[in-house]
Amino acid sequence: MSATTISGKALVPARPERSAGVWTTAGRRLWRDRVGMVSLGIVLAFVLLIIASAVGLVAKNWQKEIAVPDAPPTFVGARAEQSGAAAIVSLVPKDAKPVDLSDIDPLAPKYKEWNERAAKIEVAEPPRAATLLFGADRLGRDVLAKAVKGAEISIFVGLFAAVVATLIGTVLGALAGYVGGKLGDFLEWVYNVFTSIPDILLIFAFAAVLGRGILTVVMILGLAGWTGMYRQVRAEYIKHRTREYVRAAEAIGVTHVQRMFVHILPNVSHVILVRMSLLVVGFIKAEVILSFLGLGVPVDQVSWGTMLSEAQAELVLGHWWQLAAATLLMALFVTAFSLFTDALRDALDPKLR
Amino acid sequence: MAAYILRRLWQMIPTLAGVILLVFFLFKYFGGDPAEILGGLLATPDQIQAIRTELGLNDPWYVQLGIFVKSIFSFKWGNSWATSEAVSHIFATRLPATLTVMIPILLLDVVLGVVAAMAVAYVRGSLTDRTIMVVTTVMLSISFLVYVIVGQWLFGFYLGWFPVQGWSDSVLTNLSTYAVLPVMLAVFVSLAPQTRLYRSFFLDELGQDYVRTARAKGVSENKVLFKHVLRNALIPVLTNVSVQLPGIFVGSFLLETFFSIPGLGREVLLAVNRSDYPVIQAVTVYLAALTMVINLLADIMYRAVDPRVVLK
């Protein structure tokens, strides 16, 4: 079968003035879009950052307690000594001796033994910085390292959930649009069922049965978010199914699966790509909220959502840096990614404007 | 009209059946064993077995599905596993609090969104317009969480204008004291995307031929905007509202969590954390049914707004 295709191609003489393909022209349009290129640069910088953090080049020791609890950022300056503790101490006269309770204290004979035993245990108190570049959290962990590690988890979840949703939506959408008939009706029914349940309840229902964990979050978001992709891919397939190039492929005996995924798919891939990048932004936001509610990443991991949930209590004490770090990184990435998506859509589908 | 409504109701049956099947099999095959959740950590195998018999878990799946369907249509879900409160009682007592917060949010959202969008569409292409679009893009990229955390801290804690959280039994007190800050924050956050969306609806209409005709025959700009454009742009606005409408029943679970509002959203979230399956299942099935009914009502409303729409 494929032999026919190859020999069929060989009959046509190679034309030198081949017009540029859809991807080349889109690339050129994107290159001219200044906002798009700047945002692409920021997105790529983030990608490099999370790769570096994933292989352990940066933010490897984010769990180490390297500063005093809630150490402020360097540009704010170290905090003055706690005045509260000093006030309590000053209530006691300086020359007062502790009252001797050893006659009535039943544990008194054991104190010496315990002190000896305690002395045998080596306690290493690592040096703790009074300030850090962007402050420290409640446990004295570097906020900047946490934010980078959080970016890794949040963006990873967003990207992979989008891949999962895209796979489900594309395969089902292609089947429904290309095959149609009974199968199409069945898939439409599944689509109706999924869209009739409000998104957030669908996510909660999946979260209730699937439990916690990073991969679980990816699955939950992917399973709950494929419907938009399905709808669009299905519409595209219905449109392309009867186009001449598909009929021509049919005439030379290309199989259904090949027509669906080798012939039509590249022609609708730009739609899928744009829709997928919209999903990434949505899923990153959703992951942050799920992690905040305790339904997302486990406690031994960090994401922008868990940072924000810690920040809620810290803000009352005036420790704003964790909130600021997570918010700034997230806003920067999401803005850049959204602008890039807009530019991508304009470049790939100039008719849409 | 009656035939249309009947047909739409008829079409809901397979979808609702699908929702029931989805929820049933999701919890049956992927959820934990209900008997172990109910029995707790100290349950003996005998006790687990007793619970299994009581819940009918030893019956074949179609018998269990039958029980499930029966409980949906008789509205008897039994009790919550965590608190033994009747599920119907949970619905009845939590929904008013959710609606107290969500209805003002929805109303303010639509009214302010339409007004802001008209204003922005009126100055389209100008520097003000572009500045607003850039600001809304940046505002959209910040998580809703951040607005709520900072807003609660600023207005509730730092400035002390509103109570940080709380709820009372009187609807009036709730509306005037406790609901103000959550409503304000939610409207503030959703105003940006809402304005963007509605602006595009208005711009679509402003480009139409009838607008040019109206201007050509000397109709004042205000009349064009308020009479001709507004009425036509309200159709997509209505669609958008009907999409959001089912959401007001779950409420913003985030707002309810932050401000300790005893609403349905917070209850569902608690149920997820406690593996309280009856509550989650009931909320999911009923809200799906409600969503379908609201979609139908929205379609009927199109007809009221725009006589050109033909329902078929």
pLDDT in tens, B211-221: 889 889 988 88
Mean pLDDT for chain A overall? 82
When mean pLDDT is compared across A39-43, A263-267, B175-179, the lowest value belongs to B175-179
- Tokens read off for B250: 């779950």
Residue B178 has pLDDT above 90, yes or no: no
Of A196, A295, A330, the CB nearest to B19: A196
Select from A186, A188, A201 the residue whose CB has the most chain B CBs within 10 Å, as the one to mutate to test that interface.
A201
When mean pLDDT is compared across A31-35, A244-248, B289-293, the lowest value belongs to A31-35
The pLDDT score that the predictor gives to residue A218 is 92
The pLDDT score that the predictor gives to residue B129 is 76
The pLDDT score that the predictor gives to residue A175 is 92
The pLDDT score that the predictor gives to residue A3 is 45
To the nearest whole Å, the CA of A327 is away from the closest chain B CA by 7
For A129, the 3-state DSSP assignment is strand
- Tokens read off for B22: 């989805």
Residue B251 has pLDDT above 70, yes or no: no
Other beta carbons less than 10 A from residue A304's beta carbon: 31
Select from B10, B13, B24, B146 the residue whose CB has the most chain A CBs within 10 Å, as the one to mutate to test that interface.
B146
pLDDT in tens, A229-239: 999 999 989 98
Mean pLDDT for chain B overall? 82
Residue B289 has pLDDT above 60, yes or no: yes
Other beta carbons less than 10 A from residue B298's beta carbon: 16
- The Cα–Cα gap between A347 and A341 comes to 10
Three-state secondary structure along A262-289?
HHHHHHHHHHHHHHHHHHHHHHHHHHHH
When mean pLDDT is compared across A60-64, B108-112, B231-235, the lowest value belongs to A60-64
Residue A353 has pLDDT above 60, yes or no: no
How would you classify residue A337: left for phi > 0, otherwise alpha for psi between -120 and 50, otherwise beta?
Answer: alpha
Closest CA to A148 of A282, A58, A75, A70: A58
Residue A199 has pLDDT above 70, yes or no: yes
Across the interface, whether the CB atoms of B144 and A289 are under 8 A apart is answered yes
Across the interface, whether the CB atoms of B257 and A293 are under 8 A apart is answered yes
The pLDDT score that the predictor gives to residue A5 is 46
- List the 146-185 stretch of B: residues with Cβ below 8 A of A: 146, 149-150, 153, 157
Which residues does chain B have within 8 Å of residue A206's beta carbon, measured at their own beta carbons? 26
CA distances from B250 to A75, A112, A198, B263, B264 (A): 44, 62, 9, 8, 6
b/e map A55-79, b = 16+ CB within 10 Å: eeebbeebeeebbbebbbbeeeeee
pLDDT in tens, B1-52: 788 888 888 888 898 999 988 888 888 877 777 777 777 777 777 877 887 7
- The Cα–Cα gap between A190 and A184 comes to 10
To the nearest whole Å, the CA of A309 is away from the closest chain B CA by 9
Average pLDDT over residues B96-100: 85
pTM of the model: 0.81
A16 band by pLDDT with thresholds 50, 70 and 90: low
pLDDT in tens, A70-100: 777 777 777 665 554 445 555 666 666 777 7
The pLDDT score that the predictor gives to residue A2 is 43
Residue A272 has pLDDT above 70, yes or no: yes
Between A3 and B267, the more confident residue is: B267
Average pLDDT over residues A201-223: 87
Average pLDDT over residues B114-132: 80
Task: Give the distance, in angstroms, between the CA of residue A95 and the centroid of all CA atoms in the same chain.
Answer: 59
Which position has the token pair 């809402």?
Answer: B194
Select from A155, A196, A295, A340 the residue whose CB has the most chain B CBs within 10 Å, as the one to mutate to test that interface.
A196
Average pLDDT over residues B78-101: 81
The pLDDT score that the predictor gives to residue A4 is 45
A350 band by pLDDT with thresholds 50, 70 and 90: low
The pLDDT score that the predictor gives to residue B250 is 66
pLDDT in tens, B51-81: 777 777 777 788 888 888 888 887 777 777 7
